[in-house]
Structure formats: structure tokens, C-alpha cells
Amino acid sequence: MRVEAGRGNAVLGVSDRWIHVGGAGREFVDPRLSEGFLRRLARESGGRYVRAYYASRLIARLQEGAHQNAAPVQRDLWHQPGVMAGLILLLSAEWALRRTWGLR
């Protein structure tokens, strides 16, 4: 919102103010920084809380935790039970439809 006060052609003052209009979700009730909540959330989720002042150190912390030389896990698709069950189901459905329609 922008408000200007004036007398005649002379501007006496200007004021700018941001306001939120719309839904009243929980996150908008008190949108200020809540470090206590963020610390608790980080602790309970196994993460770490970093203050904005130390954001430059965040990249180094992320690189410390990343497994740079971890070998990719390779799994044979045909040995997955869900894939095999799906293939058997599709082939059975195709066979049943062919028998129903009189195809060989």
C-alpha cells in the first residue's frame, strides 16, 4: 500500500507498507523467524539448523555429508517381484483376451 499526503500541489509525505491479504494459514499467522521451531524441526528430522549469517558455510557442510565415491546400486529388473507379477498379469490378460476373441 502506498499513501501520499499533500496540500494543493505540494507533497507532505509518502508512506509505503506491505500487507498480506488472503488466506490465514498457520504459516502466515506469525511469519517472523522462529529459530526454536526450526531447531526442533532439524533435531527431530536428523538435520542441522544453520543461521542465515552462516549460509556461506552451508555448501561446505553439504559437501561433507555427500558420499562422493559411493558406487551406484545396480538391481536386476527381472528379479523384482512386482515387475515379474506385472509381466505375468499382462501376459495372462493378453492370453485370456485372445482366447475370448477367438484369436490364436
pLDDT digits (tens, 9 = 90+) for 54-95: 888 888 877 777 666 777 788 887 788 898 899 999 999 999
User: Mean pLDDT of all residues in the chain?
Assistant: 84
C-alpha cell, 71: 558406487
Query: Into how many domains does the chain fold?
Result: 1
State which residues form the domain around 24.
1-56
Residue 42 lies in a domain: yes
Residue 43 lies in a domain: yes
Q: What CA–CA distance (Å, rounded) separates 58 from 64?
A: 10
- Stretch 43-50: mean pLDDT: 88
Q: What CA–CA distance (Å, rounded) separates 41 from 95?
A: 53
Residue 85 lies in a domain: no
**Lowest-confidence range among 41-50, 54-63, 95-104?**
54-63
Residue 16 lies in a domain: yes
Residue 61 lies in a domain: no
pLDDT score at 23 = 65
pTM of structure: 0.36
- Stretch 1-15: mean pLDDT: 92
Q: What CA–CA distance (Å, rounded) separates 39 from 42?
A: 5
The amino acid that residue 4 corresponds to is: E
Helix (H, G, I), strand (E, B), or coil: what is residue 80? coil
Q: What CA–CA distance (Å, rounded) separates 74 from 69?
A: 15
